[in-house]
């Protein structure tokens, strides 16, 4: 039996660590949250007002919306988005080794069930429906917001699993700021990035660029080597990436316009799997993409309106030592969407959304270019019939080339249980769908034009506690229970010929729980911050059309039952340090759950010092990734590095700081 | 004091006796049976070896990893047998594992092969075909190492050795049988057959039967071609119905007078037949038949890979086509070979 039991990889003492960590965190954090007494800050209570903070708006949304802590984004600025999400969200990151292809999934479904948007435009590849989070650097977005489940019908089409929204936020009135970072790490890892944010009261500009390069020939342990366990060096795994983003925001009294561009160019070698021997077929891949978005929003009296238009093109080349295996893929898409919201009464508003999406993909495995056009219309009613009660009712209808899509609905409510808003209950029910991607429909061989959309029906219930102390420190605890049933799940299964083909073959039941605990504390000159996330997602096959299938009742492959992460940080006057631990339970690799990857624990730590002289400042950091040096895999036979180190220097210049100092 | 010492000595002796290792029990019984290679998932490195004992009517799984405490590798696709030694071709690991067929203990590993597919044995030499290279690798069976190459000008799959000549099928994208003289190492002939010759069998009359799939994209109607081994010419062709047919796994019975192959089930056809059977002898029904073996006792062994992502089944039928037994094997149960006592 080639089961990779956790005992086989992780020493017994370390296997107990995740549970100990969970218990310790709950003991430390929960008493703070339930025992503290203070008032609730006004800006987060005032939910009926026009100006609601993004965090407060997300909290009262009837389904789960979470914004990644900006401090964690700042801490991970030299990393890719996959690393950030793995360590600070409840998304599961499936990664083909260090710098390998990485997809993220939510609540037990696959990466193709996660919609990824950048400033409102979907960036999933039209061909396979995935987004590769390795080629998205953290520096490309200043805000990351995650919606769990498929209840949000604000986009043009559904996704069932969840949504990751990457966006750039304006910094009006912050003055000009600039920063430049240089880093060097283990195995020839070098990185650089620069961000310039000139801006005034009504104009905000953000221009950023990055260049990263890594030899990536890290050490790993091959336990299946023909001669017995061996320490080996990864080959053919080099990675390089470069790109830039640009954002311009301009506002008037009633409106705002913004323009965004993003260019990315990545080249990486693709190391083969380690299957007794390390394979090397000289595979490599290049990904080049260009994206642009324009957004105009208007808010006047009872009316708000928003129009977003954007386009992207992507080029993907794949090279193999056998040239006949080479791949040449390209895709492009364009969207235009508009929203009009009218406050009908003081407590009720109506929202109308409409949009069109055009997708085109070309690969050597299509019979020419494949094109899909999608038109979508949705209407939503929002109401506060009672001061602390929010109701939402939304419906969406999509029309798409060559396919029928059923109407989608979401109904939800959130209720601030206490006048201060500390306790919140919310619930939602939804029926939503996801379209097959173009590869599912048209790939030769195996693409199936007769596929129907996947459908999900389900709901969630949440209790949220949030307290803000006069000192500004915060504590929160959120608990969510969710459940859904997915029909017509699309999977690639073999036919009589042995060739794989896409079919609507299985139904899936998903049930789970999520918990989030956070606490900020100020003690003398120190700010202490702790965030703990945990999710349980049972995602099992409920019905199947595969003959003699033993998967019913079994967990979907690469969908961990448990996922938890912990972020601890301490910031002093000039010193900062932090620790991140992300744990995933076993991930099954076969549909009958007869084989699995053991649970994995990734623990990273960093320490840094900040110094400032007038407008200029610099920060020095050292980071250790995989602190215990454990052998881990996210995808079978694609190992991650043992312990690695990285040092980073950041130079900053701030016009505001200069003015403050002059004033002093 | 003496009693105490005596007692301690006795206890120590008793412990010594009780701690003596028992003889390592065999993982699987000796006697007749079927070795079955489970390919495992592509790139997952979870290929395995099973043994189905025709005497106990039980299957014994994961033999290689249990015996050697390590994985066999990625996609074990074929096993050649030389006495009590087996040579397992592990396609996507690029290795050939030599094993003791009584214990499944590894006797050595040949590494660095380029997508090896199948192996035939002639004397102390093993000949390994390749999906990606235009040559056949020669292995010294005693030393378990590469000893040479045969340049054949095309990739290769199934092979047959007869009369000092090696017949190799140019399967992936090819349409020929390449004939190589093993004495000189020279290619003496290339016989054009149908597109993608997948499997071959030599009948009792010395004629070579070749099953051609017609291409994985359904480029042409599949066919079975009979080659006269004296003239090295095609002497008969039997065409399937349409380009959508997907036949595979051509083999012969023990007497080498009846062909068996997979085509919507198991079909059989005497080597003297003038036309192909119209219906399957054992219909696949909702099963996904993957590989086929005819035992020396006439029993028919078929594997069902289900969804290719879970453990599959080994199905055993009698010569009348009645299901006798069904056993759960490993993931993607594929190639089978019989061990005769």
SS (H, E, C) chain B: CHHHHHHHHHHHHHHHHHHCCCCCCCCCCCCCEEEEEECCCCCCCCCEEEEEECCCCEEECCHHHHHHCCCCCCCEEEEEEECCEEEEEEHHHCEEEEEECCCCCEEEEECCCCCEEEEEEECCEEEEEECCCCEEEEEECCCCEEEEEEECCCCCCCEEEECCEEEEEECCCCCEEEEEECCCCCEEEEEECCCCEEEEEECCCCEEEEEECCCCCCCCCCEEEEEECCCCEEEEEEECCCCCCCCEEEEECCCCCEEEEECCEEEEEECCCCCCCCCCCEECCCCCEEEEEECCCCCEEEEECCCCCCEEEEEEECCCCCEEEEEEEEECEEEEEEECC
What would the mean pLDDT of A481-504 be, rounded to a whole number? 88
Smallest CA–CA distance, residue A228 to chain B, in Å, is 7
Identify the band that residue A472 occupies on the pLDDT scale cut at 50, 70 and 90: confident
Tens-place pLDDT, residues A33-51 = 333 333 233 333 333 332 2
* Residue of chain B whose Cα is closest to the Cα of A224: B70
- Contact check, Cβ <8 Å, A591/B307: yes
- Contact check, Cβ <8 Å, A275/B286: no
What would the mean pLDDT of B302-312 be, rounded to a whole number? 93
Give the separation between CA A284 and CA B5, rounded to whole angstroms: 72
- Contact check, Cβ <8 Å, B44/A498: no
- Contact check, Cβ <8 Å, B93/A275: yes
- Contact check, Cβ <8 Å, A494/B288: yes
- Does B335 score more than 50 pLDDT? yes
- Does A106 score more than 80 pLDDT? yes
| First and final C-alpha spacing in chain B | 61
CB A157 within 8 A of CB A150: no
Identify the band that residue A200 occupies on the pLDDT scale cut at 50, 70 and 90: confident
> What is the ipTM for the molecules in this complex?
0.84
Q: Does A224 touch chain B (CB under 8 A)?
A: yes
Torsion of CA A567, A570, A574, A575, to 10 degrees: -70
Tens-place pLDDT, residues A215-241 = 999 999 998 888 788 999 999 999 999
Tokens of B94: 């690029």
- Contact check, Cβ <8 Å, B246/A594: no
Q: Which residue has the higher pLDDT, B162 or A17?
A: B162
What would the mean pLDDT of B175-202 be, rounded to a whole number? 96
pTM: 0.87
- Contact check, Cβ <8 Å, A589/B41: yes
Q: Does A273 touch chain B (CB under 8 A)?
A: yes
Task: Select the residue of A276, A493, A547 nearest B45 (Cβ to Cβ).
Answer: A276
Alpha-carbon distance values, A163 to A44, A129, A230 (Å): 24, 13, 41
Task: Say how many CB pairs under 8 Å bridge A and B.
Answer: 127
Q: How many CB atoms lie within 10 A of CB A616?
A: 14
Q: Which residue has the higher pLDDT, A378 or A70?
A: A378
Cβ under 8 Å to B: A residues 492-531: 493-494, 496-500
Domain A3-661 is classified in which CATH homologous superfamily? TonB-dependent receptor, beta-barrel domain (2.40.170.20)
Task: Select the residue of B65, B92, B132 nearest A1 (Cβ to Cβ).
Answer: B65
- Contact check, Cβ <8 Å, A548/B66: no
- Contact check, Cβ <8 Å, A275/B43: yes
* Residue of chain A whose Cα is closest to the Cα of B243: A497
* Residue of chain B whose Cα is closest to the Cα of A494: B307
* Residue of chain B whose Cα is closest to the Cα of A589: B309
Q: What angle do CA A601, A212, A271 make, to 5 degrees?
A: 60
Contacts of A354 (CB under 8 A, 6+ apart): A337, A338, A375, A376, A377, A378
Task: Select the residue of B246, B304, B310 nearest A551 (Cβ to Cβ).
Answer: B310
Q: Which residue has the higher pLDDT, A88 or B119?
A: B119
Give the separation between CA A565 and CA A482, rounded to whole angstroms: 20
Identify the band that residue B24 occupies on the pLDDT scale cut at 50, 70 and 90: low
- Does A663 score more than 80 pLDDT? no
Identify the band that residue A378 occupies on the pLDDT scale cut at 50, 70 and 90: very high
- Contact check, Cβ <8 Å, A590/B310: yes
Domain edges within chain A: 3-661
Q: How many CB atoms lie within 10 A of CB B338?
A: 19
The residue count for chain B: 341
Q: What is the pLDDT of chain A when averaged over all its residues?
A: 88
Give the separation between CA B105 and CA B66, rounded to whole angstroms: 9
Chain B residues inside the 8 Å CB shell of A546: 306-307
């Amino acid at each position: 039996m080639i089961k990779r039991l956790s005992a086989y990889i992780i020493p017994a003492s370390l296997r107990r660590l995740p549970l100990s960590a969970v218990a310790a965190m709950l003991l430390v954090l929960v008493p703070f949250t339930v025992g503290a007494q203070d008032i609730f800050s006004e800006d987060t209570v005032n939910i009926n007002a026009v100006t609601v903070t993004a965090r407060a708006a997300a909290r009262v949304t009837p389904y789960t919306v979470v914004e990644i802590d900006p401090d964690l984004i700042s801490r991970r600025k030299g990393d890719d988005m996959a690393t950030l999400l793995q360590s600070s969200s409840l998304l599961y990151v499936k990664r083909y080794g260090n710098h390998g292809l990485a997809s993220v999934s939510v609540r037990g479904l696959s990466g193709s069930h996660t919609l990824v948007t950048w400033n409102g435009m979907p960036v999933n590849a039209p061909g396979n429906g995935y987004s590769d989070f390795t080629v998205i650097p953290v520096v490309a977005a200043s805000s990351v917001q995650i919606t769990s489940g498929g209840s949000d019908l604000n986009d043009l089409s559904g996704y069932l699993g969840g949504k990751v929204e990457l966006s750039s936020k304006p910094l009006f009135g912050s003055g000009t700021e600039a920063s430049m970072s240089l880093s060097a790490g283990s195995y020839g890892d070098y990185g650089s990035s620069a961000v310039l944010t000139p801006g005034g009261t009504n104009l905000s500009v953000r221009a950023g660029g990055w260049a990263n390069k890594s030899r990536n020939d890290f050490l790993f342990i091959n336990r299946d080597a023909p001669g017995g366990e061996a320490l080996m060096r990864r080959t053919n795994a080099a990675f390089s990436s470069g790109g830039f983003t640009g954002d311009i925001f301009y506002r008037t009294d009633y409106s705002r316009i913004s323009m965004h561009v993003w260019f990315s160019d990545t080249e990486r070698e693709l190391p083969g799997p380690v299957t007794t021997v390390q394979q090397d077929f000289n595979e490599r891949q290049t990904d080049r993409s260009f994206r642009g978005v324009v957004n105009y929003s208007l808010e006047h009296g009872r009316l708000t309106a928003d129009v977003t238009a954007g386009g992207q093109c992507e080029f993907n080349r794949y090279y193999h030592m056998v040239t006949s295996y080479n791949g040449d893929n390209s895709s492009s898409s364009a969207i235009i969407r508009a929203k009009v919201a009218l406050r009908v009464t003081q407590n009720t508003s109506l929202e109308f959304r409409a949009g069109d999406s055009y997708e085109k993909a070309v690969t050597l495995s299509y019979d020419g270019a494949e094109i899909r056009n999608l038109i979508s219309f949705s209407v939503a009613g929002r109401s506060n019939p009672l001061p602390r009660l929010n109701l939402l009712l939304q419906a969406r209808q999509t029309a798409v080339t060559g396919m029928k899509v059923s109407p989608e609905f979401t109904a939800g409510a959130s209720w601030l249980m206490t006048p201060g808003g500390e306790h919140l209950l919310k619930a939602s029910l939804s029926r939503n769908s996801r379209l097959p991607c173009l590869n599912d429909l048209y790939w030769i061989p195996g693409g199936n034009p007769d596929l129907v959309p996947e459908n999900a029906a389900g709901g969630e219930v949440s209790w949220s506690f949030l307290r803000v102390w006069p000192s500004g420190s915060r504590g929160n605890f959120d608990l969510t229970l969710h459940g859904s049933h997915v029909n017509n799940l699309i999977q690639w299964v073999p036919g009589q010929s042995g060739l794989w083909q896409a079919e609507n073959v299985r139904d899936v039941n998903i049930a789970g729980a999520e918990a989030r605990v956070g606490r900020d504390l100020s003690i003398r000159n120190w700010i202490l911050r702790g965030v703990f996330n945990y999710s349980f997602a049972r995602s099992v096959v409920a019905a199947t059309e595969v003959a003699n299938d033993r998967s019913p009742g079994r967990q979907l492959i690469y969908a961990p039952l448990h996922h938890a992460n912990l972020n601890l940080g301490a910031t002093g006057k000039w010193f900062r340090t932090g620790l991140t631990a992300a744990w995933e339970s076993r991930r099954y690799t076969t549909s009958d759950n007869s084989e699995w990857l053991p649970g994995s624990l990734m623990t990273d730590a960093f320490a840094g010092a900040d110094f400032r002289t007038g407008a200029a400042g610099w920060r020095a950091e050292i980071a250790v990734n995989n602190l215990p040096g454990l052998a881990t895999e996210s995808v079978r036979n694609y190992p991650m590095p043992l312990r690695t180190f990285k040092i980073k220097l950041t130079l900053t210049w701030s016009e505001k700081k200069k003015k403050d100092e002059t004033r002093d | 004091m003496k009693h105490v010492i005596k007692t301690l000595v006795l206890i120590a002796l008793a412990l010594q006796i009780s701690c003596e290792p028992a003889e390592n029990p065999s993982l699987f019984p000796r006697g007749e049976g079927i070795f079955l290679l489970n390919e495992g998932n592509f790139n997952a490195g979870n290929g395995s070896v099973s043994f189905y004992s025709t005497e106990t009517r039980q299957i014994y799984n994961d033999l290689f990893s249990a015996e050697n405490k390590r994985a066999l590798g990625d996609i074990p696709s074929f096993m050649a047998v030389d006495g009590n030694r087996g040579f397992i071709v592990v396609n996507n690991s690029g290795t050939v594992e030599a094993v003791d067929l009584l214990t499944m203990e590894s006797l050595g590993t040949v590494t660095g092969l380029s997508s090896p597919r199948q192996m035939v044995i002639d004397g102390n030499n093993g000949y390994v075909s390749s999906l990606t290279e235009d040559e056949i690798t020669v292995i010294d069976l005693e030393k378990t190492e590469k000893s040479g190459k045969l340049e054949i000008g095309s990739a290769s799959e199934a092979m047959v050795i007869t009369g000092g000549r090696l017949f190799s099928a140019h399967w992936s994208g090819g349409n020929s049988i390449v004939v190589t003289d093993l004495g000189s190492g020279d290619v003496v002939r290339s016989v054009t057959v149908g597109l993608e010759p997948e499997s071959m069998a030599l009948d009792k009359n010395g004629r070579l039967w070749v099953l051609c799939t017609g291409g994985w994209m359904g480029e042409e109607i599949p066919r079975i071609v009979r080659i006269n081994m004296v003239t090295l010419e095609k002497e008969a062709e039997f065409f399937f119905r349409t380009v959508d047919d997907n036949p595979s796994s051509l083999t012969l019975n023990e007497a080498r007078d009846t062909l068996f192959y997979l085509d919507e089930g198991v079909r059989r056809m005497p080597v003297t037949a003038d036309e192909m059977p119209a219906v399957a002898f054992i219909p696949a029904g909702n099963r996904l038949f993957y590989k086929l073996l005819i035992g020396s006792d006439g029993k028919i062994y078929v594997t069902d890979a289900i969804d290719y992502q879970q453990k599959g089944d080994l199905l055993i039928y009698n010569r009348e086509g009645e299901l006798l037994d069904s056993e759960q094997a490993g993931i993607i149960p594929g190639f089978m070979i019989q061990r005769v006592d």
